[in-house]
């Protein structure tokens, strides 16, 4: 792919977040983590972000065509985090959309996508926050993608159908993000179970929705981009 | 089953998941989960002072929903563009 096309693929989603910035109904609110925790989580995230940048660089150098897919994974995360969906538990939350990226490009590459989303959410829509960015990156862009990636690999090895593996990986990765958020608040404020009921319980139907939507996109990729998926070692 | 039929069913399921709560819990407020967590923190730790506040906040609910709609529209546009190009490839390239 030409350099200009490569730029376009990256700039499109970048412009997207810049212009719009999703509101999160899930992230830890600005200023609500005491400073030691806030900076601690940031420090934890740094190695993942660095590895992620290197991983994207390596993967796109080897598979230039994959850049288009990477851009699409970013776009997928933006759309899904714009969809605040009511849950049967009487509150609203939104999916994370990072499962697709994790399955296609691995967990750390997805950390970078998630970081971009969260950064602009914090800057433009006052959701999440700069001080809580580390904690939120850890839950949504590290734990979620790692769970999705691990589950997909495991299920693929066990011989599950790709669609089923994708559904399970995306849904449980989504849920894991919110369980992590609950733990992060629980260790600071106690009441872990209450936070779990606020975040994780709300999230159960949404996690299923995210799993289904990820399968929708994956079905199309499986039919029309089989070669790309093979090159990325997804199939 | 054809691909579009399969995907149509999946999308309808998602719509169902989103719509059913509106039927089941008509009295619910459907506030954001983060707002509920904030209330819980304020309730259990009344003396906690958030030590940082957002640099920029959307001026109103309308502007916030504008940003939301833009976000979803642009994201969907990129996805549609990529998938559209992909599905328009010559048949022999399809695996």
Pick from A85, A122, A227: CB nearest B95? A227
Decide if pLDDT at A69 tops 90.
Answer: yes
Whether residue A12 is predicted with pLDDT greater than 60 in this model: the reply is no
Q: With a CB-CB cutoff of 8 Å, which residues 200-229 of chain A face chain B?
A: 202-203, 205-206, 208-209, 212-213, 215-217, 219-221, 223-227
Place A20 in a pLDDT band, splitting at 50, 70 and 90.
very low
Question: ipTM > 0.90?
Answer: no
Nearest Cα neighbor of A166 from A214, A205, A114, A209 is A214
Give the structural domain span for A94. Answer: 3-231
Residue A135 sits in a domain whose CATH number is 1.10.1760.20
pLDDT, greater one: A226 or A1: A226
CA distance A162 to A166: 6
Check residue B72 and give its pLDDT. 85
Closest CA to B54 of A26, A42, A37, A130: A130
Query: What is the pTM (predicted TM-score) of this model?
Result: 0.87
Report the alpha-carbon distance of residue B44 to residue B34 in Å, rounded. 15
Kindly report the nearest CA distance between residue B16 and chain A, in angstroms.
Answer: 9
* Partner-chain residue, chosen from B32, B50, B70, that has the shortest CB–CB distance to A30: B50
Q: How many domains does chain A have?
A: 1
pLDDT at site A89: 86
**Is the Cα torsion angle A176, B7, B87, A159 positive or negative in sign?**
positive
pLDDT in tens, A80-96: 988 889 998 888 888 99
**Nearest Cα residue in chain A from B57:** A126
From A71's Cα to the closest Cα of chain B, the distance in A is: 8
* Length of chain B counted residue by residue: 95
Tens of pLDDT, residue by residue over B16-30, are 999 999 888 887 888
């Amino acid at each position: 792919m030409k350099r200009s096309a490569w730029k376009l693929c990256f700039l499109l989603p970048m412009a997207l977040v810049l212009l719009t910035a999703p509101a999160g109904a899930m992230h830890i609110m600005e200023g609500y983590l005491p400073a030691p925790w806030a900076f601690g989580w940031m420090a934890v995230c740094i190695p993942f972000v660095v590895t992620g940048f290197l991983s994207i660089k390596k993967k796109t150098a080897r598979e230039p065509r994959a850049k288009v897919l990477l851009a699409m994974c970013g776009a997928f995360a933006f759309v899904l985090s714009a969809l605040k969906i009511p849950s049967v538990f009487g509150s609203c939350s939104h999916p994370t959309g990072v499962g697709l990226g994790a399955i296609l490009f691995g967990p750390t590459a997805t950390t970078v996508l998630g970081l971009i989303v969260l950064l602009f959410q914090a800057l433009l829509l006052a959701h999440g926050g700069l001080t809580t960015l580390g904690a939120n990156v850890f839950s949504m862009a590290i734990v979620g993608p790692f769970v999705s990636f691990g589950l997909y690999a495991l299920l693929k090895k066990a011989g599950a159908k790709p669609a089923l593996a994708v559904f399970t990986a995306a849904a449980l990765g989504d849920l894991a993000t919110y369980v992590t958020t609950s733990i992060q608040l629980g260790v600071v404020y106690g009441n872990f179970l209450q936070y779990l009921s606020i975040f994780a319980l709300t999230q159960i139907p949404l996690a299923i929705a995210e799993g289904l939507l990820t399968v929708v996109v994956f079905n199309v990729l499986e039919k029309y981009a089989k070669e790309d998926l093979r090159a990325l070692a997804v199939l | 089953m054809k691909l579009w039929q399969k995907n149509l069913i999946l999308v309808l399921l998602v719509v169902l998941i989103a719509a059913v709560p509106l039927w089941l819990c008509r009295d619910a407020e459907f506030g954001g989960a983060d707002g509920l967590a904030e209330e819980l923190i304020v309730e259990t730790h009344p003396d906690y002072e958030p030590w940082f506040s957002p640099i920029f906040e959307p001026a109103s609910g309308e502007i916030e929903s504008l940003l939301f709609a833009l976000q979803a529209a642009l994201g969907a546009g990129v996805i549609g563009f990529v998938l559209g190009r992909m599905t328009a490839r010559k048949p022999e390239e399809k695996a």
